[in-house]
Structure 1
Amino acid sequence: MSETATQTPHGAGAPVHDLSGLELTMLLVDDDRPFLNRLARAFEQRGFTITSAENVGEGLAAVASAPPAFAVVDMRLGTGNGLEIIEALRRRRPDARIVILTGYGNIATAVTAVKLGAVDYLAKPADADEIIGALLRKGDAPAEPPANPMSADRVRWEHIQRVYEMCERNVSETARRLSMHRRTLQRILAKRAPR
């Protein structure tokens, strides 16, 4: 399980991952169908056999029927949580390598995901090479810094969105918890996400 610095057809300058000798079964769970389909195609091109799921129920059923060697699971799945799938996969296949993806990153959730058995936690959108790098990273090897990290404005916006969702989309309660004026919050929520 090593990386070489040679070029790959998947992107200019992207690393080639040595997948020889590995069982290339992968479960992808994400409720964003276009993103899920793009990831599935990218991993299939790299030799993986993919099982896709769009919600917690489908993910748990896939784990129960054929636990994969690798899994990429979205943290927030409609009314469910990807952590349930991590727990189920860990029980069925302790050696599985799991990466959590999310558009709503926060340290507490990352710590929980890793404690439950995820090997890494990546912000969406992550590409296939970045995900494979995380899945194959050995023990204490430091993670590579992201090539395109979120801007400070994007991090702020993600945090506000996460709190807003936690408050069940109640603007007044969200504003109170963020110590922010309600009208200011409404203006932020009406804008598109910064890059």
Structure 2
Amino acid sequence: MTENNRLLIIEDDLAFAGILARRLTRHGFECQLAHDATQGLLLARQFQPSHILLDMKLAEDNGLALIEPLRQHLPKVLMVLLTGYASIATAVEAIRLGADNYLSKPVDTQTLLNALNAQAEESVVAQVDEEPLNPKRLEWEHIQQVLNANKGNVSATARQLGMHRRTLQRKLLKKPVSAKST
């Protein structure tokens, strides 16, 4: 196994992490698993991966907060952020912080391999359509931006948006509307 195929998977869903590790081991990666932020940072130092798959939501932790410390310790690592709550706002923030790519769950093996095998210069974030976003999608994006600015604090976000906290929580539970739906 070469040094180029060392993959650290930082994912709090144990079953999903195991599936990813099995899939990617079959494609030539030597995989190590971490299930929280502390374990992820420790394993990054010990294992010295060439690639990192990082979940955005790690129980009480936010994967976005791990990007900079991981990047400082491993400046050449290829880092892919995985999320079940994709939004343009978090994609932009992840790339700004130092992630090389941003993928939405569920992700198929070929898409994952393409992201992991891309050179940093070739990494591509989700394609943005030329069509305007519908109003519900724009609302979702705006909520995500405000929530991110408030570091995930739902009460502060609700106050800033001028809505009741429970209303905001209901909106956050809904999957984002696709850009093309009406």
What is the TM-score with the length of structure 1 in the denominator? Answer: 0.65
The answer to whether the Cα contact below 8 Å between 2:8 and 2:51 also exists between their aligned partners in 1 is yes
Structure 1 position 35 matched with structure 2 position 16: yes
1:187 shift after superposition: 10
Q: Based on CA coordinates, which of the two structures has the bigger radius of gyration?
A: 1
**2:167 alignment counterpart:** 185
**1:110 alignment counterpart:** 91
How many residue pairs get aligned? The number is 168
Structure 1 counterpart of 2:93, which letter? T
1:39 shift after superposition: 0.7
Task: Tell me how far apart the structure 1 counterparts of residues 97 and 108 of structure 2 sit (CA, whole Å).
Answer: 23
Task: Tell me how far apart the structure 1 counterparts of residues 143 and 96 of structure 2 sit (CA, whole Å).
Answer: 25
The list of structure 1 runs, each at least 4 consecutive aligned residues, that deviate by more than 6 angstroms after superposition, is 152-162
SS of the equivalent of 2:4 reads: coil
Structure 1 residues without counterparts, runs of 5 or longer: 1-19, 147-151
What is the TM-score with the length of structure 2 in the denominator? Answer: 0.69
SS of the equivalent of 2:43 reads: helix
Q: How does 1:1-195 map to 2 (within 5 A)?
A: 23-138=4-119, 139-140=121-122, 163=147, 166-168=152-154, 185=167, 188=170
The answer to whether the Cα contact below 8 Å between 2:67 and 2:97 also exists between their aligned partners in 1 is yes
SS of the equivalent of 2:102 reads: strand
Output the aligned Cα RMSD: 3.8
Structure 2 residues without counterparts, runs of 5 or longer: 129-133, 178-182
Between 1 and 2, higher relative CO (CA 8 Å, sep ≥ 6) is seen in: 2
SS of the equivalent of 2:33 reads: strand
Change beyond 3 A, Cα 1:60–1:186: closer
Change beyond 3 A, Cα 1:115–1:46: same
Identical counterparts, % of pairs = 35
- 1:68-110 deviation line (CA, Å, top 9, x unaligned): 0000001121221223432233222211100001122233332
Structure 2 counterpart of 1:58, which letter? Q
Change beyond 3 A, Cα 1:83–1:47: same
Task: Tell me how far apart the structure 2 counterparts of residues 116 and 160 of structure 1 sit (CA, whole Å).
Answer: 20
Structure 1 counterpart of 2:167, which letter? L
SS of the equivalent of 1:28 reads: strand
